[in-house]
Amino acid sequence: MTEFTQKSMAFLGVKAVALPVIDVARAENFYGKVLGLPAAKHPGEPYGYLLGETILLLKQDWYAEPSSEPSPRITLQVDDARSLVKTLKERGVTISDDVEPTKTGFVGSFLDSEGNKLWFCSYN
C-alpha cells in the first residue's frame, strides 16, 4: 500500500446535504415551520436550512427525484477546493466535476472507489 505523506487533505466536515424536492414552498414549510430549522442565509438571501453547521439544500428540478430510498447529495467542506483537486488527481482519483466558483466560494466533485459522487467545497 502506498503511503501519501507529501500533502495532506484537510477534510473539515459535511458542509451540505442536498435533497430533491417537487414543491419548494411545501418543502420550505416542512423544514422551516414543521421541523423548525433556521434558514441558512448568504448575505441575507435564504438558500436552505441549518442542521447544526450543516446546510440542508432543497433542490427543485434536479437530476434526482424524491424517493423513500436514501438519495441525498453530500458536500464535504475542505480547506481549499482548488488545491484539493490537484492532490486528488495526483492520487489517481477521478474528478467528476471540475472546481467552479460559486456565490460563497468554490465547489467540485470526485468519484469514490465505488463510483459514488462526493462533492466538496471551500470558502477560498
Looking at the chain, the number of H-run helices and the number of E-run strands are 2, 8
Number of structural domains found in the chain: 1
8 Å CB contact between 106 and 100: yes
Q: Strands across the sheet with 54-60, in order?
A: 39-42, 45-51, 54-60, 11-21, 73-78, 117-122, 106-111, 95-101
pLDDT of residue 83: 94
Nearest to 99 by CA among 79, 75, 117, 82: 82
Nearest to 12 by CA among 79, 59, 69: 79
- Domain that includes residue 91, residue range: 11-122
Residue 5, in any domain of the structure? no
Q: What is the mean pLDDT of residues 86-98?
A: 93
pLDDT of residue 63: 87
- Confidence at 1, pLDDT banded by 50, 70, 90: very low
Residue 106, in any domain of the structure? yes
The CATH number linked to 113 is: 3.10.180.10
pLDDT in tens, 74-91: 899 999 999 999 999 999
When comparing pLDDT for 4 and 117, which is higher? 117
Residue 1, in any domain of the structure? no
State pTM to two decimals: 0.69
pLDDT of residue 2: 52
- Confidence at 62, pLDDT banded by 50, 70, 90: confident
**Residue type at 114 in one-letter notation:** E
Q: How far apart are CA 51 and CA 15, in angstroms?
A: 10
Instruction: With a cut of 60, say whether residue 105 has pLDDT above it.
Output: yes
Residue 47, in any domain of the structure? yes
Which helix (H) or strand (E) is 7 found in, with range?
none
Residue 2, in any domain of the structure? no
